[in-house]
Amino acid sequence: MKLKVKDMDIATGGVLVAIINRKDADLMDFHTLDRIKLKSGKYTETVVLDIAESDKAVPKGQIGLFEEVLSSLKAKSGKELEILPARKPLSLEYIKKKLDGKKLNKKEINQIVWDIVHNKLDLVELAYFVSACYSNELDMEETTILTKAMASHGDILNTRKYPVMDKHCVGGVAGNRTTMIIVPIIAAAGLTIPKTSSRSITSPAGTADTMEILASVSIGLKKMGAIVKKIGGCIVWGGALNLAPADDKIIRVEKPLAIDARSNLLASVMAKKASVSATHLLVDIPAGKGSKIPENRKALRLKRDFEHLARKLSMKIKVIITDGKQPIGNGIGPALEARDVLYVLLNDMREPLDLRKKALKMAGLMLEMGGKARKGEGLKKARYILESGQAYYKMIEIIKSQGKKVVDPDKIKIGDVFYDYKARKSGMIKYISNEAVSKVARVAGAPKDIGAGVFIHKHVGDRVKKGEVIFTIYTHNEINLKFAKDVFFKSDVIVI
């Protein structure tokens, strides 16, 4: 059967979708979510079918195509397409196999990743794969295969350098913007560090969100390679690149489900590192009450898994377990965190000392890994690079190369509507909840409202007097501030 194309002028963001009228569907015995094959000259594509119940959406004799399908078939409105039934993707059998708790082999995992990358699975089917990996975790052999498949089904950045340094934090700690301090230190030491970072999934800001305050992060692979070759480092958004694209699609499903399977976490991190040809990797696992990894036992298991997977990928790795019981830095939210980073790089008296200390420790370890400092002397060299201004000037180079927006911390715009929370009694701060602070910052508007968030004036271990300001909530409107205050007072944010 042949139907004429109707341009729906809608994009799905990935999944290949077509719509036909109910009368045509009944005639061909097609049903919602069936697969159909579309042929347009030399181009063929298999898509997921949706059905229009009225002629208003898609008239009888026409087929509505979403932007991704139009592009794939090089089709325009009015062109006739041949419509044929198609089988469901092979990977659905393998996803069901994993749901049943059975082990997947290399062929099956590769097929699943291929189907994800080429948009052959709809969101429901992809969600089942994510759920299967969560309820029946992949073992290390399966995880290794998944990692290699995710890295191979995408572009690879080849810097032709050795060593190529990288770092990763598994997250769960508010603030903790160490990457933006470490990268310029490492690059200033003469090492190569092509850093791809993510946007926020459930936090008030990801590294890419914060870096975007200072410079563009949506950089193509060719330009990224040129920047790294010239300057030694970059901080770009991984989502703008075709590096391990299956990972980005999986993350989009994990976000609303609030699922973060251990095997998927490992594959996600290591596939991204393999795709930038990293040879040396430092992994930070913050652990403790209120963090993503609350128990030290789980942190140690994850550490061993990272080390095992790195060996399989011929990657040198060092995994550190750090204190994740409280936020790192003062600012929580894109603009507030960017300001903190610049204060540290400028050695400004307003710098958050905990962020500075952690970033220097990690940078020192990476300098030792990369052969730029002897064992035990990395911290000293990292401190010298920071205090001499070399790290700041390297960061300015990176910012300019990516498209400078702002480099003066005092010109970064923070929300002009705010609320100061003052201590109800004198004493010592015993606990600040990562989860609660992050939630307040998000309700205030972060990361979408880049100037929104929470500023922490006092940290765990600090003594406070009654009436002293501990937190300031920033936003740009009174409504968000009201919601943020409601969340703040209903949450166990702080214990004095």
Give the start-to-end residue ranges of the domains of the chain: 2-85, 91-136, 165-409, 413-495
Give 322's Cβ-side CA count (13 Å radius). Answer: 27
Left if phi > 0, otherwise alpha if psi is -120 to 50, otherwise beta: which for 335?
Answer: alpha
Q: pTM surpassing 0.85?
A: yes
Phi, psi of 313 (to 5 degrees): -100, 5
Q: Which CATH architecture has domain 165-409?
A: 3-Layer(aba) Sandwich (3.40)
Is 260 a catalytic site residue?
yes
Q: What pLDDT does 256 receive?
A: 75
Second-level CATH architecture of 413-495: Alpha-Beta Complex (3.90)
Task: Please check whether residue 474 is in contact with residue 453, taking contact to mean a CB–CB distance below 8 angstroms.
Answer: yes
Q: What's the whole-number mean pLDDT along residues 88-103?
A: 95
* Rounded (5°) CA angle 36-68-211: 140
Q: What is the pLDDT of residue 202?
A: 77
Report yes or no: 364 and 338 within 8 Å, Cβ to Cβ. no
Give the pLDDT confidence score for residue 405 in this predicted structure: 96
Please provide the average confidence, as pLDDT, over all residues in the chain: 94
Q: Judge whether 243 and 196 are in contact, CB under 8 Å.
A: yes
- When mean pLDDT is compared across 139-153, 206-220, 271-285, 287-301, the lowest value belongs to 287-301
CA count, 13 A, side-chain hemisphere, 451: 15
In contact, 106 and 145? CB cutoff 8 Å: yes
Whether 233 contacts 215, CB under 8 Å: no
Q: From CA 117, how far away is CA 154, in angstroms rounded?
A: 8
Residue 270 token pair? 């290591």
What is d(CA 329, CA 337) in angstroms, rounded to the nearest whole number?
Answer: 8
CB atoms within 10 A of CB 278: 28
DSSP 8-state secondary structure symbol assigned to residue 192: B
* The two three-digit tokens of residue 191, written as one number: 């090492």
How many residues does the structure list for the chain?
Answer: 496
pLDDT at site 396: 98
Q: Write down the pLDDT at residue 31.
A: 92
What is the band of 403 on the pLDDT scale with cuts at 50, 70, 90?
A: very high
Q: Are 344 and 452 within 8 A, CB to CB?
A: no
Determine which one of 122, 166, 260, 305 is catalytic. 260
How is domain 2-85 classified at the CATH fold level? Barwin-like endoglucanases (2.40.40)
The CATH code of the domain at 91-136 is 1.20.970.10
